[in-house]
Amino acid sequence: MRTEIQQLCEAQGLDPGRIPDHVAIIMDGNGRWARERGESRVFGHMHGVDAVRFSVEAAMELGVRYLTLYAFSTENWSRPKEEVEALMNLLVDTLVQEIKELGAKGVRLRTIGDVAALPKNCQDQLQEAEKTTENNETIDLILALSYSSKWEMVQAIKMLIESGYKGDEVTEEVVTKHLSTEGIPDPELMIRTSGEHRISNFLLWQLAYAEFHFTSTLWPDFGKESFFTAIRDFQNRERRFGGLLDTNHNVAAQ
């Protein structure tokens, strides 16, 4: 009998055997989406929450195991105080409203970034949401909050020095273990909305071999169909990891 994932893949023209394990998204364009409607930027962020919901649902329907969302960058602290406050409140309100349902669906909430820099009520809600969902295994929803890749790398270097590592003991594996994504496989696909073609200090180490999907769709308009389109685009790429493909289009053995 065909599974629900197989049926959905057939309907969407997707190969169920090549669904990426980890998808990362730079959710961009909330401000422009709001401006087009003569509304405040916060209005755009509020509608951005719906798009978050759609992407989590689409990812779960396809069996994506990890979904990382760039929700607030280190650089976002420089935005007007009112916008930062509104984003933090939105995060808390969303967590309070959605966490039970997400948890019941098997979502495990995790965070990466300088979470200690967030307001106390945000930290408390996040901690509670992480605790109540920690045993879930359907999908890990990883929120990058007060996150930047350069910050993360500096933290890793500090930890290595403090732990007394010698130069020749520092390997790729060791660095990987000291990043906030420790234990999480690297994303195979990174999506950025709103027509920008930048990586903006997001997972610089972890995206080394990821495929990038750029779309002009503004984040609040990014629905399930947009997510499926991104996966189709991913499946049309030849991933060689710097090697060559054999006649079956697999990476040839060295």
Residues lying near ligand FPP in the complex (CB under 6 A): 27-32, 41, 45, 48-49, 52, 69, 71, 76, 87, 90-91, 94, 143, 194, 219
| 15 in catalytic set | no
| 89 in catalytic set | no
173 exposed, middle or buried (CB, 10 Å; 0-12, 13-18, 19+)? Answer: exposed
Residue nearest ligand FPP, Cβ-based? 31
Determine which one of 28, 30, 114, 140 is catalytic: 28
CB of 213 closer than 8 Å to CB of 189? yes
CB atoms within 10 A of CB 112: 21
CB of 115 closer than 8 Å to CB of 144? no
Determine which one of 21, 50, 76, 201 is catalytic: 76
Side chain identity, residue 246 = D
Shortest distance (Å) from residue 154 CB to ligand FPP? 22
* Of residues 76 and 132, the one with the C-beta less far from ligand FPP: 76
Query: CA geometry: angle at 34 spanning 30 and 38, to 5°?
Result: 165
Residue 27's closest CA among 82, 93, 85, 90?
Answer: 90
**Burial code of 115-145, b = ≥16 C-beta within 10 A, e = fewer?**
beebeeebbebbeebbeebeebeebbbbbbb
* Of residues 6 and 40, the one with the C-beta less far from ligand FPP: 40
Shortest distance (Å) from residue 133 CB to ligand FPP? 14
d(CA 187, CA 165): 27
Shortest distance (Å) from residue 218 CB to ligand FPP? 7
Shortest distance (Å) from residue 169 CB to ligand FPP? 37
* Of residues 102 and 210, the one with the C-beta less far from ligand FPP: 102
Residue 143's closest CA among 155, 159, 156, 127?
Answer: 127
* Of residues 14 and 70, the one with the C-beta less far from ligand FPP: 70
Shortest distance (Å) from residue 205 CB to ligand FPP? 22
Please list the active-site residues.
28, 76
